[in-house]
Amino acid sequence: MRVETQGPEAKAERMTKPIRDTQGPRHVAIIMDGNGRWATQRGRPRLFGHHAGAKRVREVVDACPDFGVKYVTIFAFSTENWKRTQVEVAGLMSLFRRYITSEARALRKENVRVRFIGDRVRLDDKLINLMDELELMTADCTGVNLTIALNYGGRDEVARATRRLAQDVADGRLRPEDVNEETLPKYLDTYVLPDPDLVIRTSGEARISNFLLWQSAYAEYEFVDTLWPDFTAEEFGKLLAAYGARDRRFGAVKA
Ligand code: IPE
Ligand code: IPE
Ligand code: MG
């Protein structure tokens, strides 16, 4: 993957679709679930569903500026997903490599800044290089912030953060009395992102499966029956509109 990232042509090539100012959520996190069932319903292997699911991501990301969504975070592979068959895991890893390679140019053109969260240690070098390249290539994009959670688990993230925090305390860079709700999240993978306002899960499961545990403490949730490969921008828009009607109190009582 070689794409020119510097220079005036690179800038001119980029679309600058403004992000609308709406009453909707600023940060939406999505648990893209149901690919396997979608494929099984069609008598096809699970990977067929993963490929169909990957195609849906573009539609949702493209819709974000119109709906006023500045950050979208998608759950692509969890720390628990290694428990699946070797065929499915290898197929997913190959899909991620292909996805990054084929989508990179379009993402940059649409001014999408891509980041990855999760533990990279278990991923193969080729995939890590592609992830690094895509992050670098879109580092100066100013539109939608797309974060892809890959080998991500909320508990794993908190454990890794705590390990680094403990090291800072041991090395005298942080005092134990300074560990609080403001300093701890600086050690999380999401340290540059605001907390999600809305978490959407497709496929009818009403659980969060270890996604953004710390960050979603006060998020609103939408669980929809649609399987991820059938999820459309239209349905996304309806969920965002419904969010506008919610009363977020954060523990307080409105006057
Ligand atoms: C979500 O779809 C994608 C990943 C977890 C990688 P699933 O593969 O979990 O699909 P179902 O839940 O089995 O239908
Ligand atoms: C959550 O879906 C992980 C991703 C969408 C990547 P799973 O399908 O792995 O979750 P469970 O097993 O139903 O909880
Ligand atoms: Mg699932």
159 three-class SS: helix
At 22 the pLDDT is: 81
Mean pLDDT of 193-202: 98
Probe target for ligand 1 pocket from 30, 35, 55, with the most ligand atoms within 8 Å of CB: 35
> Is the minimum distance from the CB of 32 to ligand 1 under 6 angstroms?
yes
The residue whose C-alpha atom lies closest to atom 12 belonging to ligand 1 is 34
Between 26 and 8, name the one with better pLDDT: 26
pLDDT band at residue 51 under the 50/70/90 scheme: very high
Would you say residue 14 has pLDDT above 80? no
b/e sequence 36-61, b meaning 16+ C-beta within 10 Å: bbbbeeeeeebbbbbbbbbebbbebb
232 three-class SS: coil
User: How far apart are alpha carbons 32 and 200 in whole angstroms?
Assistant: 8
Q: Name the active-site residue from 81, 156, 195, 210.
A: 81
> Is the minimum distance from the CB of 31 to ligand 2 under 6 angstroms?
yes
Whole-number Cα distances in Å, 54 to 26, 47, 95, 199: 23, 11, 8, 19
Mean pLDDT of 195-204: 98
Would you say residue 11 has pLDDT above 80? no
Would you say residue 12 has pLDDT above 70? no
Would you say residue 60 has pLDDT above 90? yes
Find tokens 């050690």 and name the residue.
187
pLDDT band at residue 94 under the 50/70/90 scheme: very high
Mean pLDDT, the chain, whole residue set: 94
**What are the respective helix, strand and coil percentages of the chain, to the nearest 5?**
45, 15, 40
> Is the minimum distance from the CB of 209 to ligand 2 under 6 angstroms?
yes
pLDDT band at residue 73 under the 50/70/90 scheme: very high
Distance between Cα 97 and ligand 1 center (Å): 18
Of all residues in the chain, what percent carry a pLDDT higher than 90?
88
The residue whose C-alpha atom lies closest to atom 10 belonging to ligand 2 is 209
pLDDT band at residue 231 under the 50/70/90 scheme: very high
Mean pLDDT of 190-210: 98
Mean pLDDT of 227-231: 98
Relative to the CA of 33, which ligand 2 atom is closest?
5
Q: For the chain, which residues make up each domain, given as ranges? A: 21-242
| Phi (first) and psi of residue 200, to 5 degrees | -110, 135
Q: What is the CATH number of domain 21-242?
A: 3.40.1180.10
Ligand that lies nearest to the alpha carbon of residue 205, given by its number in the listed order:
2
At 244 the pLDDT is: 87
Between 225 and 7, name the one with better pLDDT: 225
Distance between Cα 79 and ligand 1 center (Å): 13
pLDDT band at residue 58 under the 50/70/90 scheme: very high
pLDDT per residue as tens digits for the range 139-150 = 999 999 999 999
pLDDT per residue as tens digits for the range 241-255 = 999 889 999 999 977
